[in-house]
Structure formats: C-alpha cells, structure tokens
Chain A
C-alpha cells in the first residue's frame, strides 16, 4: 500500500480496535456538555483525548497502545488535532451495532487531514467514516498536578458511591466542600447553598466503600458543583457493574484529580482474569479529571 511514490507516505497512525463499545464508554465518561471540542494527541504509547471547560476543568482519556489489536505508529513527533467530541462519539456509536462485531480500523491523517475509520463487517458489507479535524488553537492547559506534601493526599472510593454522593448533593450554583482528615480517617462531602447536606465516608466503618485512604493532615477545599458533577455524570454502567473504584487526589493548592478506570475488553473475551478487579491492565482505559478549587471571595483579588 505505501510505496516509494512521493505522495504516498505512511500515515502517522494506523490502529485497530476490536471492541468499539469500550471506547465509546470511555469517551462518553468525559462528555458533560452538548458541544465540546476535544484534542487528540497521538504517540507511540497510545492515544490521549483531552477536553476542557473554561480553564477550571480538564479531562483526559488515555487509550494505551496495548488496547489496540494493531498499532502502527510512524509519525515524527506527536501529532495533535481537534475534533468535536460529541460527533466523534456519535460516529463511533454507529459502529457498535449488535451483531456487527468486526474490528474497527483508525487511520490518521487522511488525504485532507481527516480522521478515517473503517470497519469491514464481512466480505459484503462495510462501514466507514471521515471526520474533519482542525488545528487546535490552544495548547492544552497543563494542569501540572503536584502532590500537596511529601505523601499524596488521596482516597479510593467505590465509583457508584461517589456518583451517588455527588448526585445527592445537587444544588444549582452551589459548591461542594471536600474535607479529608486523618483522625478519624474519613472523607466528608458537604454541600453549601440553600441549606446544608453532608455525606461522610469513614475509612474503617465500611471497607467496601472507601477502599484506600492516605492523609496525614486535615485538608479542605471547595469545588464548583457543576465541575465536580461533570466528573461522574457520565460514568459508564460497565464501571458500576464491574464494581470499580475511583481515586481522588488533592494536590498542591487544592487541585483535585479524579481517576476512573473503564474496561475496554470485549464482554465475551477469554481473558485469564475475569473477576471484578482482575482485568489485565491492557484492557483498561484511564480517565482523569482535574478540577480547580474555588477561590474564596476574600482572596479573589490576590495574585
């Protein structure tokens, strides 16, 4: 296919995925608005998709090359391009027809810098797509997450419990205060707005809910509800079913990092470990959200 002719260079990336539903699930988890522009970064390690909102919220989806059945990378450097997230996901969804189980091939760039998708269902049918890309006009905000102290302050909570807690704390326009304290080891979510609601996770009370906890000092920060909500609103049902945990880390300055794991494995696959947690790491997509803390009004005009 790629020959010595001047015009036909190898594309930067040709890769093949055997379970598009998994990719749809992973990308859906970072959809919180109708119209979102995403940036895709390609490298020899895999694909990263980045979405942002008003400089306060950023989400990244890591699709490592091991997720792909085939991954042929021949770019110089790391190509970056922009696509509409909603359009990309809706397009991928059309490849997810039950009974339509063939692998999907991605190629970038096409002759016009498009992202090309192709699926050959059988000898006699195929589905294809060409998605227009754009040059991203801003460098993705590197949230430069740094640990708050010598030991990272973090906890791991069951994803379904986290989602439920945030759903319960819904008060439009309000903020949520997250407090971690070492004694007794616990995490508190408090909703402030019209009235008061507090949800506590005690580390030793229920080991199924809060499965890990690291905190050596009291830490407390507030986050705008709508941004916190965005981190859990579209968690795919597979995450809930797989009984996964989400890890939350509070970094320097109160920056919050929320991490989820989404299975990209084919449901009927013959994997060696098929219990709830023991998926081989190569069949997991990593989702990361970064949420900036809300600055107090008194300090609003400081630096």
Chain B
C-alpha cells in the first residue's frame, strides 16, 4: 500500500488552525480513512459509546499530487493520535514557513510532503507504520514521524465504510443554532447542574434544551430558528404557553421529537465550532436514534456551501424517549 501527497497552504490552514483543534475535542484518537477522492477523520464509528464525528475532505481541499494505492480498492485506514498529529504538523510548519515559496526566481517551490512509511524505530527491530511529514527550511530539513496503528484489514475497512454510509443519513428536520458562542457558554454552565440533557426539536423551528433532576429543572428555549427539511406552521395560540407545554403539544401532534443525551457529549459537539463553520444545525434522526449536528462551511466570500468540506457529529441517545 502506498500513500503520498503534498499539503497545500489552504490544506495546512484548514487542518492546523481549524479542524485538528476541533477534532481533538471529540477524542484523543480517531481513524484516518483515505480513499481515491477523500480524506476522512472518523471518531467512534466502530465502537458504540462516545460521540461520533465525521470530518470529510475532498482531496483537493487539502492536497495536491495526491497518490494512493492499495490492494483494497485504493483505500487505506488506520488510527492516529490527534495530539501527536498536531504536534508534528506544527513542528514542520515552523520550518516550512521559513522558506515560503521559491528562492530567487527558481521554479521549484518548497512543499510539505505527507506519506505513509514503514520504519524501524530506534529501540526496536520491528518495522512500524508511520505517517510522515517532510519539508525543507532555509538551512534545515525536517522529518516528523507520527506513529499510527497497523492499517485496517479489508474486513475492517468494509466495516468502517458501512458505518460511514449509515452515518451519512440526515434527520428530516434540522434547526439552525442562532449563536454558537452563547450556546457554548450556556451549556458550559448547565454542566454543573446535571448530567442528562433533554433535547427537543420541532418542525416550527424550536430548539428546547432541558436538564431535569430530582432537585431542579433548568431549560432554555430558542424559537423561530431557520428550518431545513420538514417544516410546519406554528399552531395559533401557542404564544403564552410555557416552553414545556409547547414542546409537549408539538410532540403529541407529531410535529416534534425529543431525545436525551449526555450534557458532556452535547458540550463536546458545540466545541466543533473551533473548526469555524458558518452555520450549525441540530436535528433528531429517525426514530430518535441519535442527535445529529451538522456544520456548514461556505466558500469564502459567498453564502454558497463549500461541498469539499463536511463536518457532522452524532450523539448517542441515552434513553429513547421518543414521544415521551
């Protein structure tokens, strides 16, 4: 199996300044899944417990001269430690940026190469796989090896791919988060009050968050949010009801769904805004199987979706409250 590519400046920026810090919050290690057309960072897709996240890049968004080959349909996947990856990238960047562009008109510009290698580490006689970064500086060259797991077998890659296919299902109704920073502050403080968060989403564009323990019920309701997908009109006479009553009525009518998730997972999902998305949407998957948050990125300077980047998370549901 072979993988070699050169990171573009745009790719470096996307990873180092935006996505790697965000993905680091999702979990220490993740799968990196490379195919002919995509590079995908996957968290918790093969084990059921934690928050799942999928960050998918079309190869052109990150790389140029992308070459991949393997006996498994040119697909390669392995696990990698994100803090080691970030550290290695930062380290090569300090050298790479010393030497930006070509010297004295010479056409050969400096490049940041990334490739898969097998090396024998100093205190061992077993060759191990690494993801290696290489670049030149003014006076020095640098190689950073990031240890990775043994690449996944054909069966495991198939399993990963089907988990990925299943995770691409979008909820029928998604509501837009009005202010990620405000939501983050709120949930950060809510964490001290309880562990379980009820999330209700209506087709009218309401997002209702609530923590309920034996000692306290604490909630926040955001209404009139932008809706993507199935919508419905707000029934008349709803204005003076409490948030709880409004939500209950909407659920009874089939216009809303409600699930319970871990507050900590919810807080983690908000931290994806370190990737600097332009919008975020929450939705509940069919049958209340999970809570999904989808981040949207615009082509800079426009309001058109940049389809070469996608990021979404799926939060496991604690109790399928369904129409509770």
Contact = CB atoms under 8 A, between A and B. Distances in A.
A251 to B, nearest CB: 36
A132 B190 contact: no
B215 A90 contact: no
- The interface residues of chain A, by DSSP majority, are classed as mixed
A99 B182 contact: yes
A234 B109 CA distance: 58
B96 to A, nearest CB: 38
A84 B215 contact: yes
A61 B161 CA distance: 60
A291 to B, nearest CB: 29
A132 B216 CA distance: 6
A214 B219 CA distance: 51
A131 B257 CA distance: 26
Contact of A97 (B186, B214, B219, B224): B186
A90 B194 CA distance: 10
Given A94-B193, A124-B222, A124-B223, A129 B217 contact: yes
A91 interface: yes
Main secondary structure of the interface of B (DSSP, over half): mixed
Interface in B208-262: 214-224, 242-243
Interface string A80-123: 00001001001101101111100000000000000000000001
Contacts of A96: 189
B173 to A, nearest CB: 18
B185 interface: yes
B222 to A, nearest CB: 5
Given A87-B193, A132-B214, A127 B220 contact: yes
Given A91-B193, A93-B189, A97-B186, A126 B217 contact: no
Nearest to B222: A125
Contacts of A130: 216-218
Contacts of B182: 97-100
A96 B190 CA distance: 11
Contacts of A123: 224
B215 A132 contact: yes
A129 B224 contact: no
7 contacts: A87-B193, A124-B223, A128-B242, A129-B217, A130-B218, A132-B214, A132-B215
B223 A93 contact: no
Contacts of A94: 186, 189-190, 193, 218
Contacts of A128: 218-221, 242-243
Task: List the 7 closest pairs (A to B, CB-CB), nearest first.
Answer: A90-B192, A94-B189, A124-B224, A124-B223, A129-B218, A130-B217, A127-B220
Interface in B182-213: 182, 185-186, 189-190, 192-193
A126 B243 contact: yes
B198 to A, nearest CB: 13
Given A94-B186, A130-B216, A125 B178 contact: yes
